[in-house]
A and B are shown apart, each in its own frame.
Chain A
Amino acid sequence: AQSVTQLGSHVSVSEGALVLLRCNYSSSVPPYLFWYVQYPNQGLQLLLKYTTGATLVKGINGFEAEFKKSETSFHLTKPSAHMSDAAEYFCAVTPGDSGGYQKVTFGTGTKLQVIP
């Protein structure tokens, strides 16, 4: 079984401030982890993903996330928020490379508000 917990359904930051969106996961096997962004009335777009290897992964739009196995976390950060970052962000987990079918579980999402 696997699950994802996103702490904080709403996060507000000032433009230019650090963005930190929290994600903790539970997985019985080594996981693959993802962050997606969703703009209003749009589908989801992949920001970044961790599968194996380097635990600090960089994604699009200046975002990055660090896989911390000891903390079962995969928090999303961006050094300086931009107005265009205002959106909803979803963390997702799937069992790692165990072959065959893999189910993805999404968190409940965090809405990011950027204040001018």
Chain B
Amino acid sequence: EAEVAQSPRYKITEKSQAVAFWCDPISGHATLYWYRQILGQGPELLVQFQDESVVDDSQLPKDRFSAERLKGVDSTLKIQPAELGDSAMYLCASSHRGHSMNTEAFFGQGTRLTVV
């Protein structure tokens, strides 16, 4: 069964360091999402790609976060420098081309980031 792959599963980093997360969506899925989920809260969309283009990054803290999906397939989310408040689960999801959530979005297992 096809899955959204994320790595690493867990990451501990010191504040002010750089950290990067990787996501490989399900093959053929044109839409890719990065969500941040703070403990006890629902997922919050950070950035959404349609193919290689960003369609929504309104909630992405652009002074420290960046995301890319250069060939419209896998994606990298980077934080530099990391802050204590960035500790959270980072979830990647993907769905078919077209309406962003009319079809099911499939989620990866997430990367749990702890900033110390």
Interface residues of A (CB under 8 A from B): 4, 9, 32, 34, 36, 41-46, 49, 51, 90, 92, 94, 97, 99, 101-104, 106-109
A42 B42 Cβ-Cβ under 8 A: no
Nearest neighbor of A42 in chain B, beta-carbon distance? B109
- Cβ of B101 within 8 Å of any chain A Cβ, yes or no, is yes
Complex interface: chain B residues within 8 A of A41 (CB) = 89, 109-110, 112
Complex interface: chain A residues within 8 A of B104 (CB) = 46, 49
A103 B107 Cβ-Cβ under 8 A: no
Complex interface: chain B residues within 8 A of A43 (CB) = 4, 91, 93, 107-110
- Cβ of B55 within 8 Å of any chain A Cβ, yes or no, is yes
Complex interface: chain A residues within 8 A of B100 (CB) = 94, 101-104
A90 B102 Cβ-Cβ under 8 A: no
Complex interface: chain B residues within 8 A of A34 (CB) = 101
State which of A4, A49, A102 has its C-beta within 8 Å of the C-beta of B99. A102
A-B contacts, 17 of them at CB < 8 A, read A43-B107, A44-B93, A46-B104, A90-B42, A97-B99, A99-B99, A102-B99, A103-B45, A103-B48, A104-B45, A104-B105, A106-B43, A106-B44, A107-B42, A108-B41, A109-B40, A109-B41
